[in-house]
Amino acid sequence: MAKKTLKTAAKPLTKTSNKTAENGHQEAPHTETALAVQKTYKLYIGGKFPRTESGRFFKVNDPDGKLVANMCRASRKDFRNAVVAARKAFGGWAGRTAYNRGQIIYRIAEMLEGRRAQFEAELVQLGSDPKSAAQEVQAAIDRLIYYAGWADKYQQVFSSVNPVASSHFNFSVQEPTGVVAVFAPEEPGLLGLVSSIIPAITGGNTVVVLASEKFPTCAITFGEVLQVSDVPGGVVNLLTGHQKELLSHFSTHMDVNAMIYCGNDPQISITLQTSSADNLKRTVLYPDTDWMTASGASPYFILDTQETKTTWHPVGK
Protein backbone atom coordinates (compact mmCIF):
# COMPACT_ATOMS: atom_id res chain seq x y z
CA MET A 1 0.00 0.00 0.00
CA ALA A 2 0.96 3.61 -0.24
CA LYS A 3 3.59 5.37 1.69
CA LYS A 4 2.55 8.76 2.87
CA THR A 5 -0.42 10.03 4.76
CA LEU A 6 -2.00 13.23 3.63
CA LYS A 7 -2.50 15.66 6.43
CA THR A 8 -5.84 16.60 5.03
CA ALA A 9 -7.02 13.08 5.63
CA ALA A 10 -8.15 13.82 9.12
CA LYS A 11 -10.33 16.67 8.02
CA PRO A 12 -13.30 14.94 6.49
CA LEU A 13 -13.31 12.67 9.49
CA THR A 14 -14.02 15.47 11.84
CA LYS A 15 -16.73 16.81 9.65
CA THR A 16 -18.71 13.70 8.95
CA SER A 17 -18.29 11.81 12.16
CA ASN A 18 -21.37 11.93 14.33
CA LYS A 19 -19.77 10.01 17.14
CA THR A 20 -18.59 11.74 20.22
CA ALA A 21 -15.15 10.86 21.46
CA GLU A 22 -15.35 9.86 25.04
CA ASN A 23 -11.66 9.56 25.69
CA GLY A 24 -9.16 12.29 25.29
CA HIS A 25 -6.59 11.10 22.77
CA GLN A 26 -3.61 13.25 22.16
CA GLU A 27 -4.26 16.06 19.78
CA ALA A 28 -4.08 15.50 16.08
CA PRO A 29 -2.05 17.97 14.09
CA HIS A 30 -4.50 20.46 12.85
CA THR A 31 -4.64 23.53 10.76
CA GLU A 32 -8.05 24.70 11.83
CA THR A 33 -8.74 26.52 15.01
CA ALA A 34 -11.28 24.04 16.36
CA LEU A 35 -9.77 20.95 17.91
CA ALA A 36 -10.66 17.79 16.01
CA VAL A 37 -13.09 15.55 17.82
CA GLN A 38 -11.67 12.09 17.53
CA LYS A 39 -13.71 8.94 17.43
CA THR A 40 -13.49 6.17 19.94
CA TYR A 41 -13.50 2.95 17.97
CA LYS A 42 -15.34 0.23 19.82
CA LEU A 43 -16.64 -3.19 18.85
CA TYR A 44 -19.92 -3.87 17.06
CA ILE A 45 -21.88 -6.69 18.71
CA GLY A 46 -25.59 -7.39 18.57
CA GLY A 47 -26.27 -4.06 16.88
CA LYS A 48 -24.56 -2.09 19.66
CA PHE A 49 -21.11 -0.61 20.06
CA PRO A 50 -19.68 -1.94 23.33
CA ARG A 51 -16.09 -1.54 24.44
CA THR A 52 -14.18 -4.76 24.86
CA GLU A 53 -15.04 -6.28 28.20
CA SER A 54 -11.34 -6.90 28.70
CA GLY A 55 -10.49 -3.20 28.80
CA ARG A 56 -7.50 -3.93 26.57
CA PHE A 57 -6.43 -1.99 23.51
CA PHE A 58 -3.93 -1.97 20.68
CA LYS A 59 -2.59 1.08 18.97
CA VAL A 60 -3.08 1.82 15.33
CA ASN A 61 -0.67 4.34 13.93
CA ASP A 62 -0.41 6.19 10.69
CA PRO A 63 2.67 5.58 8.51
CA ASP A 64 4.48 8.34 10.36
CA GLY A 65 4.01 6.52 13.59
CA LYS A 66 1.41 8.93 14.88
CA LEU A 67 -1.45 7.44 16.86
CA VAL A 68 -4.70 7.13 14.93
CA ALA A 69 -6.72 5.18 17.45
CA ASN A 70 -6.62 2.93 20.46
CA MET A 71 -8.57 -0.01 19.04
CA CYS A 72 -10.37 -2.50 21.23
CA ARG A 73 -8.36 -5.68 21.61
CA ALA A 74 -11.24 -8.14 21.65
CA SER A 75 -11.09 -11.06 24.06
CA ARG A 76 -12.49 -14.57 24.13
CA LYS A 77 -15.42 -13.24 26.11
CA ASP A 78 -16.17 -10.60 23.49
CA PHE A 79 -16.11 -13.30 20.85
CA ARG A 80 -18.43 -15.52 22.84
CA ASN A 81 -20.84 -12.63 23.35
CA ALA A 82 -20.75 -11.98 19.63
CA VAL A 83 -21.56 -15.63 18.89
CA VAL A 84 -24.53 -15.48 21.23
CA ALA A 85 -25.75 -12.37 19.39
CA ALA A 86 -25.16 -14.03 16.02
CA ARG A 87 -27.01 -17.20 17.03
CA LYS A 88 -29.91 -15.19 18.35
CA ALA A 89 -30.14 -13.27 15.09
CA PHE A 90 -29.78 -16.33 12.87
CA GLY A 91 -33.33 -17.66 12.78
CA GLY A 92 -34.84 -14.29 12.01
CA TRP A 93 -32.30 -13.37 9.36
CA ALA A 94 -32.42 -16.76 7.64
CA GLY A 95 -36.20 -16.49 7.75
CA ARG A 96 -36.32 -13.15 5.94
CA THR A 97 -37.39 -13.37 2.35
CA ALA A 98 -34.60 -13.34 -0.19
CA TYR A 99 -36.08 -10.13 -1.62
CA ASN A 100 -35.88 -8.48 1.78
CA ARG A 101 -32.27 -9.56 2.35
CA GLY A 102 -31.42 -8.22 -1.09
CA GLN A 103 -32.97 -4.86 -0.31
CA ILE A 104 -31.14 -4.60 2.99
CA ILE A 105 -27.82 -5.36 1.34
CA TYR A 106 -28.64 -2.76 -1.28
CA ARG A 107 -29.36 -0.37 1.56
CA ILE A 108 -25.86 -0.97 2.94
CA ALA A 109 -24.52 0.18 -0.41
CA GLU A 110 -26.67 3.31 -0.28
CA MET A 111 -25.32 4.15 3.16
CA LEU A 112 -21.75 3.47 2.13
CA GLU A 113 -22.14 5.67 -0.94
CA GLY A 114 -23.05 8.60 1.29
CA ARG A 115 -20.02 8.03 3.48
CA ARG A 116 -17.52 7.55 0.68
CA ALA A 117 -15.28 10.38 1.85
CA GLN A 118 -15.08 9.14 5.39
CA PHE A 119 -13.97 5.67 4.34
CA GLU A 120 -11.45 6.99 1.84
CA ALA A 121 -10.01 9.21 4.54
CA GLU A 122 -9.76 6.35 7.01
CA LEU A 123 -7.95 4.18 4.49
CA VAL A 124 -5.59 7.00 3.55
CA GLN A 125 -4.94 7.76 7.17
CA LEU A 126 -3.63 4.21 7.62
CA GLY A 127 -1.41 4.30 4.57
CA SER A 128 -3.49 3.75 1.49
CA ASP A 129 -2.86 6.21 -1.32
CA PRO A 130 -5.86 8.37 -2.18
CA LYS A 131 -6.38 6.90 -5.62
CA SER A 132 -6.47 3.29 -4.50
CA ALA A 133 -8.56 4.22 -1.48
CA ALA A 134 -11.14 5.76 -3.80
CA GLN A 135 -11.03 2.65 -6.00
CA GLU A 136 -11.42 0.41 -3.00
CA VAL A 137 -14.48 2.23 -1.66
CA GLN A 138 -16.02 2.24 -5.13
CA ALA A 139 -15.37 -1.50 -5.44
CA ALA A 140 -16.90 -2.12 -2.01
CA ILE A 141 -20.06 -0.28 -3.04
CA ASP A 142 -20.20 -2.22 -6.31
CA ARG A 143 -19.70 -5.49 -4.50
CA LEU A 144 -22.62 -4.77 -2.20
CA ILE A 145 -24.82 -4.07 -5.20
CA TYR A 146 -23.56 -7.26 -6.84
CA TYR A 147 -24.54 -9.45 -3.88
CA ALA A 148 -27.77 -7.52 -3.28
CA GLY A 149 -28.76 -8.76 -6.70
CA TRP A 150 -27.72 -12.33 -5.94
CA ALA A 151 -29.88 -12.61 -2.82
CA ASP A 152 -32.94 -13.84 -4.70
CA LYS A 153 -31.06 -15.63 -7.50
CA TYR A 154 -28.39 -17.95 -6.12
CA GLN A 155 -31.13 -20.30 -4.89
CA GLN A 156 -32.36 -20.74 -8.44
CA VAL A 157 -28.85 -21.36 -9.73
CA PHE A 158 -27.88 -23.90 -7.09
CA SER A 159 -31.14 -25.69 -6.32
CA SER A 160 -32.43 -28.69 -8.19
CA VAL A 161 -35.49 -30.75 -8.77
CA ASN A 162 -34.27 -34.31 -8.79
CA PRO A 163 -35.85 -36.79 -11.21
CA VAL A 164 -35.90 -39.76 -8.85
CA ALA A 165 -36.87 -43.15 -10.20
CA SER A 166 -39.81 -43.57 -7.86
CA SER A 167 -43.11 -41.92 -7.24
CA HIS A 168 -41.80 -38.98 -5.25
CA PHE A 169 -41.41 -35.27 -5.68
CA ASN A 170 -37.83 -34.56 -4.77
CA PHE A 171 -35.93 -31.29 -4.59
CA SER A 172 -32.77 -29.87 -3.13
CA VAL A 173 -32.42 -26.31 -1.88
CA GLN A 174 -29.67 -24.26 -0.30
CA GLU A 175 -29.91 -23.20 3.32
CA PRO A 176 -27.50 -21.11 5.36
CA THR A 177 -25.11 -23.15 7.50
CA GLY A 178 -25.64 -20.92 10.56
CA VAL A 179 -23.16 -18.80 12.48
CA VAL A 180 -20.02 -18.12 10.48
CA ALA A 181 -16.80 -16.88 12.05
CA VAL A 182 -14.56 -14.89 9.74
CA PHE A 183 -10.96 -13.76 9.75
CA ALA A 184 -11.29 -10.96 7.22
CA PRO A 185 -8.43 -10.26 4.78
CA GLU A 186 -5.67 -8.02 6.06
CA GLU A 187 -5.87 -6.08 2.81
CA PRO A 188 -7.79 -4.48 1.27
CA GLY A 189 -9.22 -3.40 4.61
CA LEU A 190 -12.68 -2.35 3.60
CA LEU A 191 -13.21 -4.28 0.37
CA GLY A 192 -11.81 -7.46 1.93
CA LEU A 193 -14.22 -7.15 4.83
CA VAL A 194 -17.18 -6.57 2.54
CA SER A 195 -16.17 -9.36 0.15
CA SER A 196 -15.72 -11.95 2.88
CA ILE A 197 -18.87 -11.31 4.91
CA ILE A 198 -21.51 -10.15 2.45
CA PRO A 199 -21.76 -13.50 0.59
CA ALA A 200 -22.37 -15.24 3.93
CA ILE A 201 -25.13 -12.87 5.02
CA THR A 202 -26.62 -12.75 1.54
CA GLY A 203 -27.14 -16.46 2.02
CA GLY A 204 -28.88 -15.97 5.38
CA ASN A 205 -25.99 -16.70 7.73
CA THR A 206 -24.97 -14.46 10.58
CA VAL A 207 -21.31 -13.62 11.06
CA VAL A 208 -18.73 -12.81 13.69
CA VAL A 209 -15.77 -11.12 12.09
CA LEU A 210 -12.29 -10.28 13.17
CA ALA A 211 -11.38 -7.24 11.09
CA SER A 212 -8.05 -6.57 9.46
CA GLU A 213 -5.42 -5.82 12.08
CA LYS A 214 -3.83 -3.30 9.78
CA PHE A 215 -7.03 -1.48 8.71
CA PRO A 216 -9.38 -1.93 11.66
CA THR A 217 -10.86 1.56 11.79
CA CYS A 218 -12.87 1.33 8.60
CA ALA A 219 -14.31 -1.99 9.81
CA ILE A 220 -15.84 -0.39 12.86
CA THR A 221 -17.04 2.54 10.80
CA PHE A 222 -18.60 -0.02 8.48
CA GLY A 223 -20.47 -1.22 11.57
CA GLU A 224 -22.02 2.24 11.73
CA VAL A 225 -23.12 1.83 8.14
CA LEU A 226 -24.62 -1.55 8.94
CA GLN A 227 -26.45 -0.16 11.93
CA VAL A 228 -28.32 2.37 9.84
CA SER A 229 -28.96 -0.04 6.95
CA ASP A 230 -31.78 -2.10 8.44
CA VAL A 231 -29.39 -4.99 9.04
CA PRO A 232 -30.81 -6.52 12.22
CA GLY A 233 -28.50 -6.39 15.21
CA GLY A 234 -26.42 -9.55 15.56
CA VAL A 235 -26.39 -10.41 11.84
CA VAL A 236 -22.92 -8.90 11.53
CA ASN A 237 -20.70 -8.62 14.57
CA LEU A 238 -17.35 -6.91 14.21
CA LEU A 239 -14.34 -7.40 16.43
CA THR A 240 -10.90 -5.89 16.31
CA GLY A 241 -7.88 -7.58 17.81
CA HIS A 242 -5.20 -10.13 17.11
CA GLN A 243 -5.72 -13.19 14.89
CA LYS A 244 -3.17 -15.30 16.72
CA GLU A 245 -4.79 -14.65 20.07
CA LEU A 246 -8.35 -15.27 18.92
CA LEU A 247 -7.76 -18.13 16.48
CA SER A 248 -8.34 -21.03 18.83
CA HIS A 249 -11.35 -19.32 20.43
CA PHE A 250 -12.90 -18.89 17.01
CA SER A 251 -12.13 -22.36 15.74
CA THR A 252 -13.05 -24.35 18.86
CA HIS A 253 -16.35 -22.64 19.63
CA MET A 254 -19.02 -25.33 19.60
CA ASP A 255 -21.82 -23.05 18.43
CA VAL A 256 -20.07 -21.79 15.33
CA ASN A 257 -21.00 -23.69 12.17
CA ALA A 258 -18.34 -22.51 9.76
CA MET A 259 -15.18 -20.49 9.66
CA ILE A 260 -13.72 -18.47 6.83
CA TYR A 261 -10.03 -17.61 6.81
CA CYS A 262 -8.84 -15.07 4.28
CA GLY A 263 -5.10 -15.35 4.57
CA ASN A 264 -2.17 -17.55 3.76
CA ASP A 265 -0.43 -18.28 7.05
CA PRO A 266 -0.10 -22.07 6.89
CA GLN A 267 0.07 -22.32 10.67
CA ILE A 268 -3.28 -20.61 11.01
CA SER A 269 -4.81 -22.93 8.42
CA ILE A 270 -3.53 -26.02 10.23
CA THR A 271 -4.69 -24.87 13.66
CA LEU A 272 -8.01 -23.76 12.28
CA GLN A 273 -8.76 -27.02 10.51
CA THR A 274 -7.49 -29.14 13.36
CA SER A 275 -9.56 -27.53 16.07
CA SER A 276 -12.58 -27.02 13.82
CA ALA A 277 -12.91 -30.82 13.97
CA ASP A 278 -14.38 -30.56 17.49
CA ASN A 279 -17.80 -29.81 16.02
CA LEU A 280 -16.95 -30.31 12.36
CA LYS A 281 -17.11 -26.68 11.37
CA ARG A 282 -17.04 -26.12 7.69
CA THR A 283 -13.70 -24.45 7.00
CA VAL A 284 -13.40 -22.15 4.04
CA LEU A 285 -9.93 -20.94 3.13
CA TYR A 286 -9.25 -18.11 0.72
CA PRO A 287 -5.44 -18.00 0.77
CA ASP A 288 -4.85 -16.07 -2.43
CA THR A 289 -8.08 -14.50 -3.58
CA ASP A 290 -7.57 -11.14 -5.24
CA TRP A 291 -10.44 -9.20 -3.73
CA MET A 292 -9.77 -6.13 -5.85
CA THR A 293 -10.63 -7.92 -9.09
CA ALA A 294 -13.73 -9.62 -10.41
CA SER A 295 -12.36 -12.95 -9.16
CA GLY A 296 -13.18 -11.73 -5.66
CA ALA A 297 -16.91 -11.93 -6.27
CA SER A 298 -19.14 -14.77 -7.45
CA PRO A 299 -22.16 -16.73 -6.25
CA TYR A 300 -19.77 -19.55 -5.36
CA PHE A 301 -18.67 -17.47 -2.38
CA ILE A 302 -22.30 -17.63 -1.25
CA LEU A 303 -22.37 -21.37 -1.85
CA ASP A 304 -19.34 -21.83 0.41
CA THR A 305 -21.48 -21.24 3.51
CA GLN A 306 -24.60 -23.05 2.33
CA GLU A 307 -25.95 -26.50 3.11
CA THR A 308 -27.88 -28.55 0.60
CA LYS A 309 -31.17 -29.91 1.89
CA THR A 310 -33.00 -32.61 -0.04
CA THR A 311 -36.70 -33.12 0.58
CA TRP A 312 -38.81 -36.11 -0.45
CA HIS A 313 -42.56 -36.42 -0.67
CA PRO A 314 -44.65 -39.18 -2.22
CA VAL A 315 -46.76 -38.49 -5.25
CA GLY A 316 -50.08 -40.31 -5.14
CA LYS A 317 -53.77 -40.15 -4.55
Partner 1 sequence: MPAISGKMEFDTAWSYAPAPENADHIVLKKRYELFITGKFVKPQSGKYFETLNPATGKPLAKVAEGSEADIDKAVKAARKAYTNHWSKLPAKERGKYIFRLARMIQERAREFAVIESLDGGKAIRESKGVDIPLAAAHFFYYAGWADKLNYAFPNTNPSSLGVAGQIIPWNFPLLMAAWKLAPALATGNTVVLKPAETTPLTAMKLAELIQDCDFPPGVVNIVTGAGATGAALVNHPDVDKIAFTGSTEVGKLIRRATAGTQKKITLELGGKAANIIFEDAPLDQAVEGIINGIYFNQGHVCCAGSRLLVQESVKEVIIRKLKDRMETLIVGDPLDKNTDIGAINSQQQLATIEAYLKLGQAEGAEMFQSSCPVPQNGGYWVRPTLFLNASQSHRIVQEEIFGPVLAVQSFRTVDEAVKKANNTHYGLSAGVWTDKGSKIFQMTQKMRAGVIWANTYNKFDPTAPFGGYKESGFGREGGLHGLMPYLKM
Q: Are 187 and 266 in contact (CB under 8 A)?
A: no
Distance between CA 266 and CA 96 in Å, rounded? 37
CB nearer partner 1, residue 35 or residue 277: 277
300 binds partner 1 (CB under 8 A): yes
User: Do the strands 206-210 and 236-239 form a parallel or antiparallel pair, or are they unpaired?
Assistant: parallel
Q: Are 220 and 240 in contact (CB under 8 A)?
A: yes
Of the candidate residues 75, 155, 177, 237, the single one contacting partner 1 (CB under 8 A): 177
Site for partner 1 in 128-167 (CB under 8 A): 157, 160, 162-166
Q: Minimum distance between the CB of residue 153 and partner 1, rounded to whole angstroms? A: 12
Q: Minimum distance between the CB of residue 266 and partner 1, rounded to whole angstroms? A: 6
Span of 71-79, 203-211, 232-240, 300-308 interacting with partner 1 by CB under 8 A: 300-308
Q: Minimum distance between the CB of residue 269 and partner 1, rounded to whole angstroms? A: 5
The residue length of the chain stands at 317
With CB under 8 A as the rule, give the number of residues binding partner 1.
36
Site for partner 1 in 238-297 (CB under 8 A): 257, 266, 269-274, 276-280, 282
45: three-class secondary structure by DSSP: strand
170 binds partner 1 (CB under 8 A): yes
Per-residue contact string for residues 197-236; x = within reach of partner 1 by CB under 8 A: ----------------------------------------
80 binds partner 1 (CB under 8 A): no
Q: Minimum distance between the CB of residue 172 and partner 1, rounded to whole angstroms? A: 5
Distance between CA 131 and CA 120 in Å, rounded? 9
Plot region of 55 (φ>0 → left; ψ -120 to 50 → alpha; else → beta): left
User: Do the strands 179-183 and 206-210 form a parallel or antiparallel pair, or are they unpaired?
Assistant: parallel
Alpha-carbon 201 to chain mean position: 9
Q: Where are the alpha helices (DSSP H) in 151-294?
A: 154-158, 189-202, 216-227, 243-252, 266-275
Distance between CA 168 and CA 213 in Å, rounded? 52
Interface ranges with partner 1 (CB under 8 A) = 157, 160, 162-166, 168, 170, 172, 177-178, 257, 266, 269-274, 276-280, 282, 298, 300, 307-314
